[in-house]
Structure 1
Amino acid sequence: MKILHITASYKPAYIYGGPIQSVGKLCEAIAIEAQQNGIDLEVFTTTANGSTELDVDTSKPEDVNGVLVTYFKRWTKDHSHFAPELLLQVWKVLRAERNNQKIVVHIHAWWNLVSVLSCLIAKWHGVPVLLSPRGMLTGYSQNNRHSFFKSLIHKTVGARLLKYCHIHATSRQEVKDINLIFTPKTISVIPNLVQTSEKQSSYTNLNSANEPNLFRIIFLSRIEEKKGLELLFDALAHLTTSWALTIAGSGEEKYVAGLQQKATQLKVDHQIKWIGQVSNQDKFNLLAQQDLLVLTSYNENFANVVIESLSVGTPVLISDQVGLSDYVQEKDFGWVTSLDPAAVQKSLSSAADDHNKRNLIRQEAPIIIENDFNDARLVQKYLNLYQNITN
């Protein structure tokens, strides 16, 4: 079987957050299984790295953590990512392979010219397509940021191409969002493969002896409007518990400055520490030092950081619009809130007061996460899905 992964951005473009981690982790896990299962795996991507370009060799494929990756120069920046050489290579590969009954194109994300035009080429050659929207096929995504461009794509070719695709969703929440937009040919739910901590941290050792009553909260993600930080700030302004918030992540300077101004207006700026983007090596230690991870997003198809946090035993407080909210509720790994400042404030108070629940999560979550998000088990589900599509 040949699997061609197509994505507008790939490692090491970590500026794009969770999707980069998810796609890379999946491809690396498939690569491990490739030889044993007779799989030919390739990744086509661009040099996208936000407003800059990755410093990579575009003249030949590169081995990136065991995965054969070809980077192509893009002619346009975010969010169109127009890369003619990539599209030409997709055409050549699919033309040569179209009589092979065991080939599938796996496209990641939507609303960019790499994804849409690659899908069009695959449809032209009659090659099956698996599309992982990565949160791009929701009402929130359609109507926020570049909505005119998205509407134009959808009305011209997007709607017809989507009906050609088999859809991969990462959560039941994402399935609901997708079904509100269109009815897929097929839709399957498989969670993301997520990098988790290799060691379990001790909750008692991480609390500061100097400030044992300080409630430590962390936000670790891209800093953008959909993450609901304004909502969180409004809730924290009315929280009576002694608290400190660490914000780890990067975003557009103008938007971050606006958030900092809002924090000053609410008189909570002295309780917030902005530390910027954190490396993969450091984030687990940072998460383990906190009492609670918060993610009050307006829309998230999955949210890798929830699993990352629970893998070190740090409880979570997330909105009911986060894809993993049903999992958190089922396992009782934290608190799920509506998108209302009063409700968020109430959940924060509950989390701060319930030491027993937080201690129990600290002890139990890492073991359960290791089992539920086992790479080998999840990658087999993906391989079975590819087989079903080619059949």
Structure 2
Amino acid sequence: MKILHIIPSLSPLRGGPSQAILEMVQAQRQQGIDAAIATTNDHGDATFLSPYGQLVESGSVPELVGPSVPIWVFPRVLSQVAALREFAVAPTLAPWLWQHVADYDLVHIHAIFNYPTTLGMAIAKAKGIPYIVRPIGSLCRWSLEQGKAKKRLYLQTLGRRLLRGSAALHFTTPQEHQEALAAGFDGASFTLPHGVQLPAPITTASYQLRQRLSIDNDAPIVLFLSRLHPKKGLEHLIDAVATLGEEKFTLVIAGSGDADYEAELAQRIKQAGLGRRVRQIGFVIGDWKICLLQGADLFVLPSYSENLGIALLEAMAAGLPVVTTPEVAIAPLIQQHQTGLVTAAHAPALATAIQHYLHHPATARKHGQQGRALVATEFSWPTQAARLLEQYTQLTQPSVEITAKATQASSALR
């Protein structure tokens, strides 16, 4: 079976979905699926160099992080207009897709509201090739409210028709599916989360982390690791730790974002008098990221909206207890399996949750162990790749009637 994945960016600066698709394709190829990715050379506000219109290995591109898998790269138009730059227009992608999309049995679209995936849906539809659309949270309530007028115009003119033409919508959690239903997207669908790689334990991670960041041995490390974006609720976390008084802790903030927003956060930290108790370390990848996750004591993500919450899954895979909010789609799973605490996204509630783990380290360790066990059993890539192959097989067999009811039965989050 040949599968073409289309995503506007593989840059690690774009967050979890760009990393997840590389791991997804690697797992599929290990199970005998001939899978490849078509994407642009987007790298945040910049671009990366790569042979264009040729099949290359992602590992040959220094800016890309993760497994090395086959990718087709097309140059994105560099515009001074932010809206056009974010739409990721790549003119040479159109003729390539028109010529080659029929070489594949199915097209898996990742994200909407951008040029590459809109084009992928339209051309697959025109050529009669079945396609799946994974909205990556784009149809959730919070996302639809951002840039509301532009998104409404997109959906009214073209988007909704293309989404209805898909063989199925691929949601990663039941909550994401329910929010899409509430927004009127009620076509065929299935629910299947990402897989997560379980890192090998680093026995010296805590020591390495404390040495590198000059953190005292008796100060528990509270970690925030994600894109720096207003929807992540980081302001509430800063305000929460500012109320912890004489509690011993260090807050490590890992991630990057808009320069103006980063400056706002730095000013907020300064005004709260937290300069010595916070380490802002910027964007992290590779072994340093793994060391951060394994060396910390607690992970906090007080987000306003997450269609899955890959950062939380990575933290649980590293054995960390987590604190998050009800708006994160895997919050019910965290509560059910006691892998962390779910609380409102405001400072007093977050402070109480953080204090609970600071005062009860044995509970923190237990919840961290339960989180790692959950990820190992329910979110391993071999398991998720096999489940996704079942969906592909159904969707590429014309004799099988695909309905929302049938596909929902295979949900990995039952």
In 1, the alpha carbon distance for the partners of 2:369 and 2:115 equals 46
**Mean Cα deviation higher: 209-218 or 307-316:** 209-218
In 1, the alpha carbon distance for the partners of 2:217 and 2:49 equals 45
The answer for the alignment partner of 1:167 in structure 2 is 169
* SS class of match (1:239): coil
Of the candidates 346, 356, 366, which is equivalent to residue 350 of structure 1? 356
In 1, the alpha carbon distance for the partners of 2:250 and 2:39 equals 40
Letter paired with 2:71: V
* Cα offsets for 1:104-159 (capped at 9, x unmatched): 11000111011112212222222211111112221211222x43332221121111
The answer for the alignment partner of 1:23 in structure 2 is 21
**Mean Cα deviation higher: 342-351 or 255-264:** 342-351
What are structure 1's unaligned runs of at least 5 residues?
A: none
**Mean Cα deviation higher: 192-201 or 306-315:** 192-201
The answer for the alignment partner of 2:186 in structure 1 is 184
In 1, the alpha carbon distance for the partners of 2:73 and 2:137 equals 24
1:214 aligns with 2:229: no
In 1, the alpha carbon distance for the partners of 2:366 and 2:293 equals 17
* SS class of match (1:308): helix
The answer for the alignment partner of 1:129 in structure 2 is 131
Letter paired with 1:168: H
Of the candidates 181, 199, 202, which is equivalent to residue 201 of structure 2? 199
The answer for the alignment partner of 1:105 in structure 2 is 107
1:323 aligns with 2:324: no
Report the CA distance between 1:87 and its aligned residue. 1.9
Letter paired with 2:29: A
What are structure 2's unaligned runs of at least 5 residues?
A: 59-66, 80-84, 398-414
Report the CA distance between 1:68 and its aligned residue. 2.2
Letter paired with 1:92: Q
Aligned residues: 379
Of the candidates 281, 285, 291, which is equivalent to residue 285 of structure 1? 291
Letter paired with 1:160: R
In 1, the alpha carbon distance for the partners of 2:13 and 2:226 equals 10
Going from structure 1 to structure 2, the CA distance change for 1:261 and 1:90 (only over 3 Å counts) comes to same
Report the CA distance between 1:85 and its aligned residue. 1.4
In 2, the alpha carbon distance for the partners of 1:197 and 1:86 equals 35
Report the CA distance between 1:361 and its aligned residue. 2.8
**Mean Cα deviation higher: 240-249 or 76-85:** 76-85
In 1, the alpha carbon distance for the partners of 2:296 and 2:242 equals 19
Report the CA distance between 1:348 and its aligned residue. 1.7
Equivalent residues of 2:254, 2:284 under 8 A apart: yes
Of the candidates 90, 93, 96, which is equivalent to residue 89 of structure 1? 96
Aligned-residue sequence identity (percent) comes to: 29
The answer for the alignment partner of 1:54 in structure 2 is 48
In 1, the alpha carbon distance for the partners of 2:236 and 2:115 equals 33
In 1, the alpha carbon distance for the partners of 2:277 and 2:355 equals 16
Letter paired with 1:60: Q
Of the candidates 292, 295, 303, which is equivalent to residue 301 of structure 2? 295
The answer for the alignment partner of 1:152 in structure 2 is 153
**Aligned-residue CA RMSD in angstroms?**
2.3
Equivalent residues of 1:120, 1:161 under 8 A apart: yes
In 2, the alpha carbon distance for the partners of 1:7 and 1:204 equals 36
* SS class of match (2:92): helix
Letter paired with 2:244: L
* SS class of match (1:84): coil
The answer for the alignment partner of 2:31 in structure 1 is 33
Report the CA distance between 1:253 and its aligned residue. 0.9
Letter paired with 1:151: R
In 2, the alpha carbon distance for the partners of 1:59 and 1:364 equals 45
In 1, the alpha carbon distance for the partners of 2:257 and 2:35 equals 33
* SS class of match (1:79): helix
* Cα offsets for 1:6-36 (capped at 9, x unmatched): 11112xx2111111111111011111122xx
In 2, the alpha carbon distance for the partners of 1:225 and 1:362 equals 27
